[in-house]
Amino acid sequence: MAPELPGCVIVSGMPGAGKSTVAGLAARRLPRAARVRGDDMNQMVQSGYVGWMDEPSSEALRQDELCNRNLCSLANNLIDFGFTVLMDTVLADRAELDFFLALLSPRPVRLVVLAPGIGVCQQRNASRSPEERFDFDGYERLDADMKREFGDVGWWFDTSALTPDETAARLVAEAGDRTEPLVAGWHTWLRRLHGIQDSPG
């Protein structure tokens, strides 16, 4: 019997880390679970789509926020009907993580960052089919930003020596023990005022 993981598990990491594959495999190992992907939210837009790295930047930011809001709305509906959600998305900084936590509140949210290393991510991304390959050259900056912003939060999972199936099996078996449900940072001051202790990340 697979351990229960109530609420949402955000599966993040750089392009090529294996988020989509692992999240899907992990969801199938749980008794009631769904994978929710940012790419699926974006593909609903049939005209006027602007990717998060595209121009104009103001519209890219608006549509990235729209994607994140849709991700969380769908996740909330699934969670409220008794499903665990494995959410596949790239989190760039702590502000974005806090935005997700606020939208998903008060449901429990855990963070697992797949971290096989920059070289592995680049190799995996390059080996994808042209339709699935993500044209991205900002690995060093994104890796540094993620580690600086929330390197002490959640489970940073080195998957460099694991197959996708092995990664998914360990995620399901260990995520509940390796990361407590997170607390959004947007109301940290108020929580301190009331003497409420935050759960460790």
Residue 90's pLDDT band (boundaries 50, 70, 90)?
very high
Q: Which CATH class is domain 8-193?
A: alpha beta
Mean pLDDT on 81-89:
97
pLDDT tens, residue by residue, 120-154: 998 887 887 776 766 777 889 999 999 999 999 99
According to the model, what pLDDT value does residue 43 have?
86
According to the model, what pLDDT value does residue 200 have?
46
Q: Of the candidates 117, 167, 188, 168, which has an alpha carbon nearest to the alpha carbon of residue 147?
A: 117
Lowest mean pLDDT among 29-33, 109-113, 127-131: 127-131
According to the model, what pLDDT value does residue 129 have?
76
**Dihedrals φ, ψ of 8, to 5°?**
-120, 135
Q: For strands 33-37 and 155-157, give the pairing.
A: unpaired
CA 128 from chain centre, in angstroms, equals 20
Residue 26's pLDDT band (boundaries 50, 70, 90)?
very high
CB 145 within 8 A of CB 118: no
Percent composition of the chain: helix, strand, coil (DSSP 3-state, to 5): 50, 10, 40
Q: Of the candidates 140, 167, 147, which has an alpha carbon nearest to the alpha carbon of residue 94?
A: 147
